[in-house]
Structure 1
Amino acid sequence: MQPKSKAGSFNCELSPRALDKWNPAIKAAVESTGDTITIYGVIGEDWYGDGVTVSRIDAALRSIGDKAVTVYINSPGGDMFEGLAIYNRLREHSQEVTTKVLGLAASAASVIYMAGAKREVAMSAFLMIHNCWTLAVGNRHGLRDIADTMEEFDAAMADLYAEGSGQAVIDVAEMMDDETFIRGKRALELGFATGLLSSDEITERQDDQTQQSNALKAMDVALAKAGMTRSERRELFATFKSSTPRAAGEGKRNAALTDKPRAVELDLAPLPKLSFSVPA
């Protein structure tokens, strides 16, 4: 779902600040049970056009069936509209949903987190809430129309956070305006969390997938700061994938219960040379 305006459609962007603070190595210590879903990446399309989508969450819930479900989250956020769709899907689940933030639940991922009847967060973890973030071009009429549309979606998110936490909408809106990071204990105090997560449920694993994610996120942050749009960045990363010999023979992932970026080697040779400066 993408809102339309006089300037056309716009896409939600990852917050470079959230992406920079995200540590993809943080995962659940045990996550192999049949009633868990892991959200360990970008909401919506990630660097390779995959990412955590409502269709993948639907597949996971169908596989779990009529049972309580636990959702582990460590995500820098992503597409707000995809996040809202996943939130609604989890809220519709027939049994109790427990959401747990292991490292970071930023932006759209924090929306998904609020779907839990039980919401736990690690003492060392963070929620991040902010207004819808995008890059847009157009004349003043089109840009004003986009801003008006974004304001409505910001209000919807503020209502969602307020309903779940018990905070006043105006207070939540102020936190969103400030792009607020909320540590675990504070999230509990403010009502965003209903409990704290035990430290023995969390681990930090440095593996090929983690190294790949760190490399890709560093490139994504640099390109975003340089002014490259999300669609342009995704096209560039797609070139990485298509030019990698291993990519064609990887086979299918288990899309039902996990959302992890693929670990592939990057071949930069086929790419055009880029020239840009990154603002300090």
Structure 2
Amino acid sequence: MTLRSAPPISLSRPPRVQAYEPDPGLLDRWQAGLRTTDASAANVISMLDVIGADGWTGEGVTARHIAATLRSITADEITVDLNSPGGDFFEGVAIYNLLRQDPRRVTVRILGLAASAASVIAMAGDEVQIGRAGFLMVHNAWVVAVGNRHDMAAAAETMVPFDAAMAEVYAAKAGVDPAQAGAWMDAETWFTGTQAIDAELADRFLAADVIETETSGSGPSALKRIDSLLAKQNIPRSERRALLADLRGTPGAAASVMPRADDDWAALARSLLQTLT
């Protein structure tokens, strides 16, 4: 069973606040035609549309559809192909929680864009891969509210815990303080593939974007490979981060890594690193 470190989002849709449409500016930057060669695989869930149902066409990615798809998958691992400008924040939260609480290992592949609610969904992955030319965008929740000025003020106040919950999710993935994640959201921050990996909001590039010459030695690329291999052993993200911090602080051979409470994990990491050097 995978022990996922992503925090839950325990929020429900306020009765007077809706969030059905993505930011129109995001739609202009979204390449809707992206696909992968293995999208038809039995364990691949494709989220290549706006998050939430379109009341007119019935299209869009909904929590109900994702829940049914998860129940139909019998494989031990799940891959989520993601290319979405976002949309209904509350549907995104529900999908995030569905993926997060699934006991199987979840790999999220950001093919082009994971923005707004879609970036929240991405954080549910045990491993997040992103295209070298891909983007991840975080911002504060967008909503539609109806009423007088008092209703508007109440709607703004209602959204405070939602933004705080998102900041905690991004912070947990990146290993930063929630205030830093909140600053990213306030600034509506766009991360390129490289920037997302540097910020640790993503773990590695898509397989097609990995350059073999960068995967030798004991530098950052090797550490990312070790993190990926440790994740496949169902080691929690928090433990992996602590172990990799020890490795980063140890120049040269990995044999001098400081012992951890679980010596087996440290031994595994040393063995992995030795195979890469």
1:154 aligns with 2:188: no
Query: What SS does structure 1 have at the residue aligned with 2:114?
Result: strand
Instruction: From 11, 16, 24, give the equivalent of 2:24.
Output: 16
Partner residue in 1 for 2:185 = 176
Query: What SS does structure 1 have at the residue aligned with 2:57?
Result: coil
1:121 aligns with 2:130: yes
Contact 1:167 1:190 in 2 (8 A): no
Q: Structure 2: give runs of 5+ residues left out of the alignment.
A: 1-11, 211-277
Partner residue in 2 for 1:2 = 13
Alignment size in residue pairs = 198
Deviations 1:205-248 (A, max 9, x none): xxxxxxxxxxxxxxxxxxxxxxxxxxxxxxxxxxxxxxxxxxxx
Instruction: From 18, 28, 45, give the equivalent of 2:53.
Output: 45
Q: What is the one-letter code of the residue matched to 2:80? A: V
Partner residue in 2 for 1:26 = 34
* TM alignment of 1:70-89, pairs within 5 A: 70-89=79-98
Contact 1:77 1:107 in 2 (8 A): yes
Deviation at 1:66, TM superposition (A): 5.3
Structure-1 separation of matches of 2:17 and 2:24: 21
Deviations 1:127-182 (A, max 9, x none): 01111112333212111100001111011101111011112211111111111111
Query: What SS does structure 1 have at the residue aligned with 2:119?
Result: helix
Larger radius of gyration: 2
Instruction: From 119, 132, 138, give the equivalent of 2:141.
Output: 132
Contact 1:44 1:52 in 2 (8 A): yes
Query: What SS does structure 2 have at the residue aligned with 1:161?
Result: helix
Contact 2:78 2:106 in 1 (8 A): yes
Contact 1:67 1:94 in 2 (8 A): no
* TM alignment of 1:1-280, pairs within 5 A: 1-4=12-15, 8-46=16-54, 48-65=57-74, 67-199=76-208
Query: What SS does structure 2 have at the residue aligned with 1:48?
Result: coil
Question: TM-score normalized by structure 1?
Answer: 0.67
Question: TM-score normalized by structure 2?
Answer: 0.68
Structure-1 separation of matches of 2:13 and 2:133: 34
Contact 2:19 2:90 in 1 (8 A): no
Q: What is the one-letter code of the residue matched to 1:27? A: R
Q: What is the one-letter code of the residue matched to 1:104? A: L
Structure-1 separation of matches of 2:60 and 2:51: 6
The structure whose RCO (Cα within 8 Å, separation 6+) is larger is 1
Q: Give me the identity figure in percent.
A: 45
Deviation at 1:200, TM superposition (A): 6.8
Contact 1:105 1:126 in 2 (8 A): yes
Structure-1 separation of matches of 2:21 and 2:32: 19
Deviation at 1:57, TM superposition (A): 0.8
Partner residue in 2 for 1:215 = none
Q: Please report the RMSD computed on the Cα atoms of aligned residues, expressed in angstroms.
A: 1.6
Q: What is the one-letter code of the residue matched to 1:15? A: D
Q: What is the one-letter code of the residue matched to 2:179? A: I
Query: What SS does structure 2 have at the residue aligned with 1:29?
Result: coil
